[in-house]
Structures are given as structure tokens and as C-alpha cells.
């Protein structure tokens, strides 16, 4: 009897403290679908704009609203400079190539949607860089390339960057290109500016997959980024095909370092996308940046400096 009483009392205590989960249809309003527009433009290049739509949280990610009667204009320095033309799916192009320093405004409309617009200023300056490389053979045809990328900084303002370290492979047979490939992997673990050591928002374990950084820590002083990458040598070979013809086979491995100066909007967008995509549950929700009025998305701009070289040739039989 005593045991039974204890059990009942215990059960009662538990019941009183147990919570309930309530399931209720979302009773608030969902925002009306809006236009999502993206454009990252640079000087002397034609402007391309992607135009799509938002969807409610309950709609499948496979579902894309079909936009009808999409139209848009490009204004450069507040003057109408051109219109949007459909190109491929959600991508629209223009015949406008803005100049450095231009203020560019993109306005987009579609039937049933509020007009959306955003604007940016094309950067006047390109990054000032110097790239030193150390090539070290790593056995066979593989090289370890250590880059020291010196980025100067005038200290005039807060600037934002992306680093792209790429390798392009181009294969030719008797002067005809038969294959091109690109590879953007590089090792940034030893570079604190990219790996999280000096980026307060960046979790070291998550990585900085868009390789973005700011001049926050080196404003007015400049900085040398150090990253590594593996690459194969270029080679040329001559072989006889099955018809007995001599073929000259050429493989050029081109290595490229590109420092892209991006505007603040692009930086905030890329940073917030990376944070939102980390997949951690118990974190403060991430608000992905948008500078589009009447819709979502980013109208951004960039300029870049690039250094490239071809990997040394080795003759192969």
C-alpha cells in the first residue's frame, strides 16, 4: 500500500510537470510573394540580372512560380540606359555596360508583383595586389604552390573582398581545344583572415566557403594573405593514334589568383548566406541580407585584380 501510494504520488508529480505540445496551423499572415532579383556587376561588362520569386515557407522548394510579363530597366546615374531582355530561364541581360563610378539602378516588374528595385555604385578602383609564389615539387607531376598575396590598403574606407584561387586546365590536340576544366579548391587553413582566427562571426570548424574578408584588421597598412594549393604541371606529348597519325597533345594548367573587391551589400549577403547555411540548431536565426526594395535579393558590384601563370611544362611521352 505504501509503495502504491508513492507510485501514485510520483506519477502525479510527473504529470503535473510534463509539458504539452500544441499543434496548430499557422494563423498569421504569409507575406505576398515578392520578386527576388540579383545582379553583381562590374565596370565595362554587360549587366545580367536574375529574376525569380519568393515562395511561402510551406511551398515546396521544387516549386518555382512562373513569372509573367517580366520587364525591367537599367538606370545609370539616374538616366534610363537600357532594358532587361530574357536570356536563359531566370537570367535577363541588358546592353548596358556601366563605367567605374557609375550609380546603377535596376528596376524590375512582373505581373502580380510589386515593383522591386535596387542600386549600387560601380567601384572606381581595383585592388592593388602583388602575388609571390613558391612552387615545390610534391612527387611526380604534382606541385605544392604557396601563394603570398600582398594586398595594399589606402586606409580610406572599409573595404570588402573575395579571394579566388583557381586552376584552369585546357587540353588541346593539334591546336583544337578538346577539354577545359576549372578547380577552385585551395587550402586557407593557415590564413587567419579566411579561416576564422580573426573573423568573429566565423566558426573555425565551419569554414569560409566564399573566402570573403574585410580590411577591418589591416586598414591603412595592407596585408599579405598566405594560402596553398596543389596543381599539376603542364605537359606536351606526341603520340600516334590508331590510324598512325602523329598527334600533338597539349595540356596547359593555368593558375590564377583573383582578388575581388566586392561592395558591402555583396559581402553582407555572402556572409549571411554562409551563416544561415551552417546547419546548427541552437543559434540565433540568421537574417540574410537584402538591399532590394519591394522585393528581396542583392544588387551589388565588384572589381578585381588578377594574376595568372601557366604551370611549368614537362615533356611526356
Q: How many residues does the chain have?
A: 317
Instruction: Give the CA radius of gyration of the chain.
Output: 27
Beta bridge partners of 273: none
Q: Which residues make Cβ contacts (< 8 Å) with residue 99, sequence separation at least 6?
A: 43, 44, 122
Q: Nearer to other proteins by C-beta: 186 or 250?
A: 186
Q: With binding defined as CB under 8 A, does residue 239 bind other proteins?
A: no
Answer for which of 2, 4, 24, 246 binds other proteins (CB under 8 A) is 24
Q: Nearer to other proteins by C-beta: 132 or 204?
A: 204
Applying CB under 8 A, the span of 92-100, 151-159, 235-243, 278-286 interacting with other proteins comes to: 278-286
Number of chain residues interacting with other proteins (CB under 8 A):
68
CA dihedral 157, 162, 167, 169 (to 10 degrees): -100
The Cα–Cα gap between 160 and 302 comes to 10
Q: With binding defined as CB under 8 A, does residue 31 bind other proteins?
A: yes
Shortest CB 260 distance to other proteins, Å: 8
In this structure, the number of other CB atoms found within 10 A of the CB of residue 165 comes to 24
Answer for which of 154, 287, 308, 310 binds other proteins (CB under 8 A) is 287
Classify residue 255 by burial, with Cβ atoms within 10 Å: 0-12, 13-18, 19+: buried
The DSSP line for 187-236 is B-TT-HHHHSSS-TT--TTT--TT-EEESTTTTTT-EEEEEEEEEEPEEE
Q: With binding defined as CB under 8 A, does residue 160 bind other proteins?
A: no
Classify residue 226 by burial, with Cβ atoms within 10 Å: 0-12, 13-18, 19+: middle
Q: With binding defined as CB under 8 A, does residue 272 bind other proteins?
A: yes
Applying CB under 8 A, the span of 71-79, 100-108, 162-170, 231-239 interacting with other proteins comes to: 162-170
- Per-residue binding string, other proteins, 63-82, x by CB under 8 A, is -x------------------
Answer for which of 200, 205, 241, 315 binds other proteins (CB under 8 A) is 200
Binding site for other proteins (CB under 8 A): 6-7, 9-11, 13-14, 16, 19-28, 30-31, 33-34, 36, 38, 50, 52-59, 61, 64, 162, 164, 166, 184-185, 200-201, 209-211, 258, 260, 268-270, 272-273, 275-278, 280, 282-290, 296-297
Amino acid at each position: 500500500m505504501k509503495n502504491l501510494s508513492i507510485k501514485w504520488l510520483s506519477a502525479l508529480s510527473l504529470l503535473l510537470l510534463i509539458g504539452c505540445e500544441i499543434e496548430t496551423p499557422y494563423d498569421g499572415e504569409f507575406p505576398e510573394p515578392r520578386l527576388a532579383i540579383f545582379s553583381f556587376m562590374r565596370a565595362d561588362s554587360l549587366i545580367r540580372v536574375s529574376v525569380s520569386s519568393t515562395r511561402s515557407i510551406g511551398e515546396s522548394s521544387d516549386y518555382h512560380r512562373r513569372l509573367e510579363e517580366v520587364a525591367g530597366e537599367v538606370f545609370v546615374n539616374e538616366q534610363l540606359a537600357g532594358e532587361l531582355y530574357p536570356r536563359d530561364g531566370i537570367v535577363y541581360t541588358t546592353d548596358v555596360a556601366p563605367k567605374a563610378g557609375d550609380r546603377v539602378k535596376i528596376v524590375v516588374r512582373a505581373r502580380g508583383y510589386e515593383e522591386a528595385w535596387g542600386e549600387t555604385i560601380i567601384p572606381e578602383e581595383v585592388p592593388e595586389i602583388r602575388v609571390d609564389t613558391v612552387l615545390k615539387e610534391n612527387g611526380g607531376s604534382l606541385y605544392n604552390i604557396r601563394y603570398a598575396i600582398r594586398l595594399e590598403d589606402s586606409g580610406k574606407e572599409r573595404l570588402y573582398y573575395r579571394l579566388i584561387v583557381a586552376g584552369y586546365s585546357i587540353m588541346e590536340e593539334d591546336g583544337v581545344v578538346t577539354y577545359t576544366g576549372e578547380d577552385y579548391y585551395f587550402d586557407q587553413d593557415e590564413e587567419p583572415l579566411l579561416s576564422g582566427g580573426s573573423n568573429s562571426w566565423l566558426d573555425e570548424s565551419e569554414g569560409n566557403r566564399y573566402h570573403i574578408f574585410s580590411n577591418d584588421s589591416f586598414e591603412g597598412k595592407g596585408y599579405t594573405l598566405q594560402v596553398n594549393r596543389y596543381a599539376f604541371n603542364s605537359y606536351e606529348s606526341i603520340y600516334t593514334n590508331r590510324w598512325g597519325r602523329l598527334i600533338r597533345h597539349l595540356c596547359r594548367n593555368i593558375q590564377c589568383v583573383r582578388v575581388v573587391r566586392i561592395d558591402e551589400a555583396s559581402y553582407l549577403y555572402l556572409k549571411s548566406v554562409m551563416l544561415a547555411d551552417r546547419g546548427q540548431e541552437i543559434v540565433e536565426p540568421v537574417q540574410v541580407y537584402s538591399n532590394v526594395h519591394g522585393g528581396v535579393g542583392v544588387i551589388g558590384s565588384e572589381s578585381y585584380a588578377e594574376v595568372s601563370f601557366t604551370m611549368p611544362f614537362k615533356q611526356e611521352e
